[in-house]
Amino acid sequence: MFSWLIQFIESQPSIHRFALYIWKFFPPRLAGFLKGILTRNWMVGAVAVMIDENCSPAEVLLVKHSYRRTGIWGLPGGALEGIPADSGEQSANSKQGNIIESALRREIFEELGIEIDAVNLLRIDAVPFVPEEPGPYRLDFYYRCEPQLGFDELRNRAAHCSDNDHSPEIDEIEFVPLPNLKDYDLYSSDVSFFRGELSNIIPGDYGL
């Protein structure tokens, strides 16, 4: 019942956008309770880290989420949907390779309308509590990715995109210089990732 309702809402952009707007004003604990009803005990997420090292300083792609009041900026990605163990879809995905990478590609295409290549797995975080979105424990897979259309074209799209060019979950798309990350209201899970891994990717002290 709940899964059908969610799929219906997500298939209707105007309803989806309105539902996300309402969701933003739910008290965090109520939102977490509802999410616990609608999802599994563990939520598995896949996150894209797209860093353009060809500019100085290097820049990372962030998105502004429409359904959060705090931690509104973060890395693009999403949660994996459950797939029955004996379904044909699982077999098809298995032949394509890593199911998490495939899910990440799907999420990025749905959110940003672009295709990506997952370069390598950077980090796996087991997150028991997220202040902005209390609810099920999270297991997040962070992948270093590159846009298939190239960073220059993606940057151009980010600068000129409209609401119809991306998912209702996304308000804005922006390339942010790494030293400027501290000036953004970042999602806490992504802050943890940046603190743990960013200096290993691009050496530096980013003040996070």
Helix, strand, or coil (residue 45): strand
Record: fold of 2-201: Nucleoside Triphosphate Pyrophosphohydrolase (3.90.79)
3-state secondary structure 117-178: EEEEEEEEEEECCCCCCCCCEEEEEEEEEEECCCHHHHHHHHHHCCHHHCCCCEEEEEEEEH
**pLDDT for the residue 90:** 46
**pLDDT for the residue 86:** 44
**pLDDT for the residue 159:** 82
**pLDDT for the residue 1:** 47
Domain ranges of the chain: 2-201
Assigned token pair, 169: 């979950």
Question: pLDDT (tens digit, 0 to 9) for every residue of the chain, 208 residues total?
Answer: 455 666 677 777 888 888 888 878 888 777 777 766 665 567 788 999 999 999 999 999 999 998 888 899 999 998 886 444 444 444 444 444 488 898 899 999 988 989 998 779 999 998 877 777 766 678 899 999 999 999 999 998 888 776 666 778 889 999 999 999 999 999 999 999 999 999 999 998 898 8
Contact 174, 184 (CB under 8 A): no
Helix, strand, or coil (residue 11): helix
Contact 107, 140 (CB under 8 A): no
